[in-house]
Amino acid sequence: MENLNDVYNELIMEHSMNSYNKKKLDKCDLCKMGKNPNCGDEIEIELKLDGNKIQDIGFTGHGCAISQASTSIMIDTLKGKTIEEAREIIKTFIEMIKREITDEEELKKLEDAIAFRNISNMPARVKCALLAWHTIEDMLKEQNNNTQK
Amino acid sequence: MNVEDIKKDFPLLENREITYLDNGATAQKPIQVIKAIEEFYEKSNANPHRGAYELSIEATEEYESTRAKIAKFINARHPEEIIFSKNATESLNLIAYSYGMDNLKKDDEVVISIMEHHSNLVPWQKITKATGSKLKYMYINKDFELSDEEIKNKITDKTKIVGITQVSNVLGTINPVKKIIQYAHEKGAIVIVDASQSIPHMKIDVQDLDADFLVFSGHKMLAPLGIGVLYGKKEILDKMTPFLMGGDMIEYVYEQETTFAPLPNKFEAGTQNVEGVIGLGAAIDYIENIGYNKIHDLESEVVSYARQELSKLDYLTLYLTPNVQNHCSVISFNIKGVHPHDVASILDSEKVCLRAGNHCAQPLLRSLGIDSTCRVSFCFYNTKEDVDNLVKALNKTYRMFKKYINK
């Protein structure tokens, strides 16, 4: 595979092994466990809101470098955003992985998470990169359902 | 016959420049197997047991003569003790439903090893729950083996069924199957042997083992995907009720009642995977032509070399019995601090194919305190050069991760 170093780059490796986002929050508003039984990856994401704004996110659990780094970088990207902005970023990330979006301008809002754009060259690892994003997507969906009730 | 000549029989190994070390998942196929299937479709294809015309009779003969060949291959007394299935999983489900469901009573016990593949584990959870019986496990010791003590502690007068894999698909541990069978029989239990990981590597003699049931998949022993075998003692199979109902497994069908065909048809409902059976026959011919002694010699040279070279890598954790005589083909390991899926991806970039994950043995891995491993598994066509490629690729992986690994 020619693109190995595109995927296992400095940023991803650093986040996967020594993430400052790997922590329990003192108090959280939303919490969800994401699992990938096939590889045994399990991550728990905790999220603290300040009104409509994402104040803090932390994660715990274990998994491969791709899933750990993807979770950590996702947290960097989403922290400080509103729920609506976060939803848009999550959608863009998932579409980037599926190669439905390639427009550079549009991808800019992903900030560092753009590092995962080449993961589609490693089809076996796509689900690792998506685990945290799908988990937080579901988490925000549930939040939406609850507030509408 | 040297290994270079043997390799030439395997078109995939010639066509792809890879180091294929995932034989425990499935083996590559020799040209003789591929040709046998092609020839069947070009010259003999018809539905066995159905037509009165020459072609169908020929197809029936090929199908039934392969059954006899398999019986001889594992030294079964009668050809009708060989039942074709789609794989070991289906064979095990057949036993669980047709034997387990009818013979287990409340408070009876089913004993299996913690090494079992999910296919010899999950069906027993279902059947023991349905019958009110209990599922118990034989655990492994620090050498990744079953001790005599553990076997005797778990198999008791309450035990009715014992399920045991002959070779662990994660650890490569060879289990003392003959001893377990002898002991289980003393206690009045029947024994099911999962030979999926053993039959590609060692001679199986069901009479010598005195196994009540023995199952395996064809595709791990050079045959096509989708063909499997169930061996059962005739007197046990005769008493069992059918598993799948349909065509060819019946005698007379009335509106409300049916009588069933005798063995082996009773357990072979519907049109069978005849090309798979033909391919399996050719795979057996291929194995017998090389001979298990030669296979053993070729494999043990390479596997010993792999044990030796992997042991030198101090960044690896090996899940491997130190007792060479109890080990076969499979080696599981982890790079400390690196997830097996990352290892597999980086090895893939070096064209080294291995398996990473839980290997359909989650309870075993949980008992070892891990949730996945890297696993290499060898076939007689593998060489020391394959091991060198593996080690080179592992070194590369370790170099990539070294500076990031948490100290």
Number of domains in chain A: 1
A33 touches B: beta carbon within 8 Å = no
pLDDT at residue number A145? 77
pLDDT in tens, B132-182: 999 999 999 999 999 999 999 999 999 999 999 999 999 999 999 999 999
pLDDT digit string, tens, across residues B304-322:
999 999 999 999 999 999 9
pLDDT higher than 90, residue B49 = no
Band the pLDDT of A2: cuts 50, 70, 90.
low
Cβ–Cβ contact B372 with A under 8 A = yes
**From CA B106, how far away is CA B142, in angstroms rounded?**
34
Distance (Å, whole) CA B192 – CA B123: 13
Q: How confident is the model at residue B50 (pLDDT cuts 50, 70, 90)?
A: confident
Contacts of B340 in chain A (CB under 8 A): 64
Contact list, B406 vs chain A (CB under 8 Å):
17-18
Helix ranges (H only) for B249-350 are: 274-290, 292-311, 340-349
Residue A82 has pLDDT above 90, yes or no: yes
* CA distances from residue B143 to A109, B140, B172, B173, B319 in whole angstroms, order as listed: 53, 8, 12, 9, 9
* Nearest CA-CA distance, residue B111 and chain A, Å: 26
Of the partner residues B345, B404, B405, the one whose CB lies closest to the CB of residue A125: B345
Contacts of residue B282, Cβ cutoff 8 Å, sequence gap at least 6 = B32, B33, B35, B36, B37, B223
Mind telling me the catalytic residues of B? 360
Ranges for all domains in chain B classified under CATH 3.90.1150.10 = 291-402
Q: Render pLDDT for B268-297 as a digit per residue (tens, 0 to 9).
A: 999 999 999 999 999 999 999 999 999 999
Task: With beta carbons less than 8 A apart as the criterion, state whether B395 and B354 touch.
Answer: no
DSSP B327: B
Contact A120, A97 (CB under 8 A): yes
- The span from the CA of B195 to the CA of B216, in Å, is 5
Integer Cα distance of A44 and A33 in angstroms: 4
B406 vs A122: CB contact, 8 Å cut-off?
no
- CATH classification of the domain holding A20: 3.90.1010.10
Whether the predicted pLDDT of A63 surpasses 80: yes
Residues linked to residue A58 through DSSP beta bridges, in sequence order: A46
Identity of the amino acid at B325: Q
- Check CB contact of B334 with chain A, cutoff 8 Å: no
Q: Is A124's Cβ below 8 Å from some Cβ in B? A: yes
Which domain range does residue A93 map to? Answer: 4-148
Residue range A13-33, pLDDT digits in tens = 999 988 999 999 999 999 999
pLDDT above 50 for B407: no
Select from A15, A17, A128 the residue whose CB has the most chain B CBs within 10 Å, as the one to mutate to test that interface. Answer: A17
CATH code 3.40.640.10 region(s) in chain B: 33-288
Interval B183-225: pLDDT, tens: 999 999 999 999 999 999 999 999 999 999 999 999 999 999 9
Q: Cβ–Cβ of A65/B348 closer than 8 Å?
A: no
pLDDT of B333 above 70: yes
Alpha carbons B163 and B103: distance in angstroms, whole number: 15
Share of chain B above pLDDT 70, in %: 100
Please compute the mean of the pLDDT values over residues B372-394 and round it to a whole number: 98
H helical segments located in B162-291: 177-186, 206-209, 234-239, 274-290
Of residues B309 and B404, more confidence is placed in: B309
Nearest to B40 by CA among B286, B275, B280: B275
pLDDT at A18: 84
For residue B248 the two structure tokens come to 């060819």
CA–CA gap between residue B402 and residue B407 (Å, rounded): 10
List CB contacts (< 8 A) between B357 and chain A. Answer: 38-40
Query: What are the DSSP calls for B51-85, one per residue?
Result: -SSHHHHHHHHHHHHHHHHHHHHTT-S-GGGEEEE
ipTM: 0.91
For A12, which residue in chain B has the nearest alpha carbon?
B404
Separation in Å, CA of B134 to nearest CA in chain A: 26
Specify the CATH class of B33-288 in words: alpha beta
Which CATH number is correct for B291-402, 3.90.1150.10, 3.30.750.80, 3.30.450.20, 3.40.50.300? 3.90.1150.10
Partner-chain residue, chosen from A18, A40, A128, that has the shortest CB–CB distance to B372? A40
* Contact yes or no for B342 and A8 at CB 8 A: yes
Residue A14 touches chain B, beta carbons under 8 Å: yes
Distances (CA, A) of A9 to A12, B28, B258, B361, B374: 5, 34, 66, 32, 22
Q: Tokens 């890297």 identify what position? A: B374
Q: A17–B405: do the CB atoms touch at under 8 Å?
A: yes
> How far out from the chain centre does Cα B101 lie?
23
Tokens representing residue B73 in the block: 């291959």
Distance CA A101, CA A26 (A): 37
